[in-house]
Amino acid sequence: MRENLRIVDSPIALSAQDHALIEEVKNFYQARTRVPCTTCGYCMPCPSGVSIPNALTLYNDAVMFESRIHPAMIYDQFFGQE
Ligand code: SF4
């Protein structure tokens, strides 16, 4: 605890500008994350063989980066045959 408090007060602690940038980046990613899946795996195994957490992660990637080519290829190669 003391060590953590010492770091917070040290010169390497994040500035208000750093916190603002982190908040901006967090908001950007949250706005572009379509499905808030935590990949906990509770929904697995899927009776239809769908790798649900991986499919949702790749779906989010496709939306975030505005391209489904790479996520679709990854799903087909690694998760489509489960
Ligand atoms: S979709 Fe499945 S892996 Fe994702 S948060 Fe829900 S239960 Fe967990």
- Residue ID of nearest Cα to ligand 1 atom 4: 37
Please state, as a whole number, how many other Cβ atoms lie within 10 Å of the Cβ of residue 30.
9
Query: 73 CA distance to ligand 1 centroid (A)?
Result: 22
Q: How far apart are CA 27 and CA 16, in angstroms?
A: 16
Dump pLDDT digits (tens) for 30-73: 999 999 999 999 999 999 988 899 999 999 999 999 998 998 89
Atom of ligand 1 nearest to the CA of 53: 3
Residue 33: which residues within 8 A CB-CB, separation 6 or more? 60, 63, 64
φ/ψ of residue 18, rounded to 5: -60, -45
Task: Report the predicted TM-score, pTM, of the whole model to 2 decimal places.
Answer: 0.69
Query: 43 CA distance to ligand 1 centroid (A)?
Result: 6
Using a 6 Å cutoff on CB, does residue 45 contact ligand 1? no
Residue 79 has pLDDT above 90, yes or no: no
Using a 6 Å cutoff on CB, does residue 38 contact ligand 1? yes
Question: What's the pLDDT score for residue 80?
Answer: 65
